[in-house]
Each structure stands twice: as structure tokens, then as C-alpha cells.
Amino acid sequence: MLPTQDEKTPSRIQLKSNRLFQVLSMFSAQDRKRLDKFLQSPFFNQSKTLTKLFEVLIDLVEKEKTGFVKEKVWSKIFPGKPYNDTNFRKACSDLMELVEQFMSIENYLLHDENANLDRIDFILKRNIQPLIKGVINDQAKLYLDRNYWRFSDYYYAYAFEKKYHSLMNFDVKIDQNLNIDKISSNLDLFYLTEKLKLLNNALTNNIIITKGFDMNDVDAILKLCEKYNLDEHPELAINYYTYQTISNGDNVEFYYKLKAILEKYAVYIPQEESINFFDATLNYSISRVNKGDKSFLQEYFDLFEVGISQGVFIVNGELASRRFNNIVIAGLRLGKMDWAQQFVNENIHLLPADTRNNMYKFNMARVSLYKKDFNNVLNHVRDVEYDDLYINLISKVMIVIAYYELDEYEALDTFLETYRTFINRQKDLPDGIKNGYINLLGYVRRLMRLKSGDQNAIQKLKEDIANATASTVNQEWLLEKVAEF
């Protein structure tokens, strides 16, 4: 007997998907529950068909289906009625419109300022006098004792003052105290803060050079900023000092002012903005270290600690692997070996699950390297291959050092050849970086052949390493090893 349509195996059924199903599949469980309540409300939706369609599709989503059979969905909504593709598509389209409306309302409800401004509009248009005082008081409460004003707060305050101006009929009641100064001030603060953000982004991403970003009005913008007491406007101050820090690298005064404000207000700044500000200061610190100012390594470390302790870098419960690695190596370079080991053990759970195990081994190998526990270095990374090319390269450098320090010259000789082959196969690795690693391998081979009494060879190797034209990886370690001869 031939199988009926319902008895066909899933592999023979053509599952369909559309924009509606894909969007619903991306909603969280909480969002789906709130969307369900939204669709149940007759104020927004009076169609039982759309409510049923939503229920059927959500049931498939929760069963982790990748699509649906249109005819089966139809039969659950309209039992006994023949499938009509035009009507089905229309129902999906109508439901999608409601879903998009729900998204707008959900976002709208996140901001009290939106609701307050729209209430004022309603009151103005209908001249509802009894509500005027209440809406003004509600607006004042929004900013009462607020430690930090975001740039959007300035915009909302500007928009409110404009509406308040109309609400109090200032244009005809000339005896009233005009609030034009507040309108102007809030507009300026919004504009200046947003403009500085764009300038900082352009500077950080080299857009000015590559895209010809217009910088002609920078001096005027900076002068306008200086009219305000920056201590009273931390959002403006942070953006102002960020610009000055990035564009005036030799003047550390701006950096220290930016750092002080960040440490004070980090917990109040929206996370995405806060990350950008911290990255600007971290990049500045590294640039100072690269110029020879080693004191800024401690600055880098301190800033990182503040960023992690205040949750700035913890996004959706996770700390990016590169940030984790950077704070560990900064601690190690400052001689904080025990701190680094404790940090790895206590915070490894913050790393993404798919990289957690390998990142633990990699960082524990680095701790072991700084503690000169070379056997443990090999135990952690000898048999690990990393998805990230640069971490792979660094882990293999640690193996080279460990073999050399343990006098495992036979194993080292074999590994050097394997490592050189690995480097040469990396076609996307820039030549400057590739040569740096190749140089390391060549100098290690010369170290292995060096004899303690051959002063000419020792001096020649020392000079070659010190004067290498291409960047040489672990140059300080190489010079230290030559000095031992």
C-alpha cells in the first residue's frame, strides 16, 4: 500500500519558510510571550485568524522546526477548508505587520521620555488644562538626581522645553519667563556631544584619512564645548577629552582627565559608549608604551581592571577572548604572576563556551612561561591547535622557548622545522609579521650552535638580534639568552 500524504517521511516533505517565520524564530521566549499578549489585545488585533496563525507558527518554532508545510498550517487554522495560497500569504503579511508594530511599541516603552513627549502633544492638541502641571512634574522627575546625562537626554530635554514653550503659550504671554535659553543650551549640548562622537569615531577608524571626513569645523566645536563647565556635563566632557586624547597624543593631561571621568561615571554610561571610551584610553596607553613610556603599561592594566570590575567589557555575560588575553599578558608583564593565575582561574567562565578550554590552556601556559615552569608550558599547549592564527603563532613560540630552556634540543630542532613550514603556509599573514617569526626561528638555531668560548660568534649574534631590520619576535628573550654565554 502506498503511504498517504501524512505518512510521508519528513525528508520527502518540502518545508517552507518566510520572513515571518524567520523573525519569530529569532525572538526570545520572553519576547514571544509578550507578543502573544499583544496579539490577544483587541485594541491592537481583532483577527482570530491571525492569533491562530501565530499560535501554530510559534508551536513549530518552539519545536525547533526549520520551516513549515503551508497546507498543514492552513488546515489547523481553517479545518476542512481547501488551501488558498493567496489568503495564506495575506494572513502572513498581516501578521508580520502586527509583529513589526509590536517591535516598535516594545522599543517605545523602554523610554519614558517618548511617552512623556507624546502626552504633551496630546495635551496641546486638545488643550487639556488639568494635565499640564502633572506632565511638567513628570518630566522634571526624569532628570532628578541623575548622575549622568546621555546625549539623548539632552535631545529629550531640548524637545520638552520646546513643547513646554508652546504649552505655556510663551509666544503671546510676554510677561512669562522665557525658556529659550534652556532650549538653546540643551540643543547645543546634544549637538556638540553627538558631533564629537562622530569625530572620535572618524579618528579611531582612520575615516578622516581614507574617506576625507570634514574636519573644518573642529576648532569651532571645541570652542563651543569650552563655554560649558565640563565638570557639570560628564557626557560632553568624556567626548571632549576623548577627542583631545586621540588627537594630541603627546599631551597626557587630557588622558588623565578622561581617565578620571571614566572611573567615576563608567557605571552610568550606556555600555556600547563606555566600551568605546575605554578602548580609546587603552589604545592611547599602548601607544605610549610602544613609544617607550613603560609607566603606561600600569595605566593600561589599571584601566582594564576598572573596565572588567565595573562590567563594561562583560557583554551578554561574556568577556571577549582577546580582552581576556590582553589583561592577562599586561599583568604578567608587570610581574603579577599570581594575580594573572588567579584571574584566569576565577574568570575563565566568562569566556565563550566554544573557546573556553583552549583559552584556559593558552593563558595558563603564559603564566607558566613567566614563572619559568617550562614543563607546564608544554603540558598546556603542546598538542593544542587554535582557530585564531595569532594565538596559534604565540603558543608555538612558547613551545620553542620551553624546549630551549629545558635543553630539549632534539625535540626543538624538529619543532623548528615544523613551525617554519606552518608559518610559510600562512598566505594571509603580512610579510612583516611573518619575517618576525622566521627571524626568531633562525636566531634560535644560531643559539643552539653557539659555543661559550666563541666571543666573535657571540658578539655577532648579539649585534644581529639587536639590529634586526625586520621586527623579531621575543627579541628581549633572545638577547637574554645570548647574554648567558
Q: What is the 3-state secondary structure (H, E, C) of 78-100?
A: CCCCCCCHHHHHHHHHHHHHHHH
C-alpha closest to that of 372 among 290, 268, 477, 453: 477
**pLDDT value of position 12:** 52
Q: Which three three-digit cell numbers place residue 426?
A: 600562512
Q: CB 423: neighbour CB atoms within 10 A? A: 19
**pLDDT value of position 453:** 77
Q: Tell me the C-alpha to C-alpha distance, in Å, between residue 336 and each of 102, 380, 398.
A: 51, 20, 19
How far is the C-alpha of 212 from the C-alpha of 207, rounded, in Å?
Answer: 7
**pLDDT value of position 400:** 92
**pLDDT value of position 5:** 43
**pLDDT value of position 37:** 94
- Give residue 89's identity as a one-letter amino acid code: R
How far is the C-alpha of 18 from the C-alpha of 89, rounded, in Å?
Answer: 10
447 φ, ψ to 5°?
Answer: -60, -40
How far is the C-alpha of 483 from the C-alpha of 485, rounded, in Å?
Answer: 5
Please list, in sequence order, all residues whose beta carbon lies within 8 angstroms of the beta carbon of residue 286, skipping any fewer than 6 positions away: 296, 300
Q: What's the CA dihedral at 441, 443, 444, 448 to 10 degrees?
A: 140
Judge whether 52 and 79 are in contact, CB under 8 Å.
Answer: no
Which pTM does this prediction carry? 0.69
Judge whether 315 and 322 are in contact, CB under 8 Å.
Answer: no
C-alpha closest to that of 22 among 57, 47, 53, 52: 57
How far is the C-alpha of 342 from the C-alpha of 91, rounded, in Å?
Answer: 57
**pLDDT value of position 156:** 79
**pLDDT value of position 350:** 92
Average pLDDT per block of 10 residues along the chain, 485 residues long: 42 73 92 94 93 93 89 91 92 95 89 78 80 74 68 77 70 56 82 86 62 67 87 88 85 89 83 85 87 89 88 88 92 94 94 90 94 93 81 91 92 92 89 88 87 82 77 81 82
How far is the C-alpha of 279 from the C-alpha of 281, rounded, in Å?
Answer: 5
Entry field: residues in the chain: 485
Q: Which three three-digit cell numbers place residue 344?
A: 584566569
- Give residue 424's identity as a one-letter amino acid code: N
Please list, in sequence order, all residues whose beta carbon lies within 8 angstroms of the beta carbon of residue 215, skipping any fewer than 6 positions away: 199, 208
C-alpha closest to that of 312 among 337, 345, 278, 341: 278
How far is the C-alpha of 19 from the C-alpha of 16, rounded, in Å?
Answer: 11
How far is the C-alpha of 242 from the C-alpha of 281, rounded, in Å?
Answer: 8
**pLDDT value of position 167:** 66
Q: Which three three-digit cell numbers place residue 212?
A: 576625507
C-alpha closest to that of 259 among 196, 289, 303, 221: 303
**pLDDT value of position 178:** 60
Q: What is the residue-wise DSSP string for 327-348?
A: HHHHHHHTT-HHHHHHHHHHHG
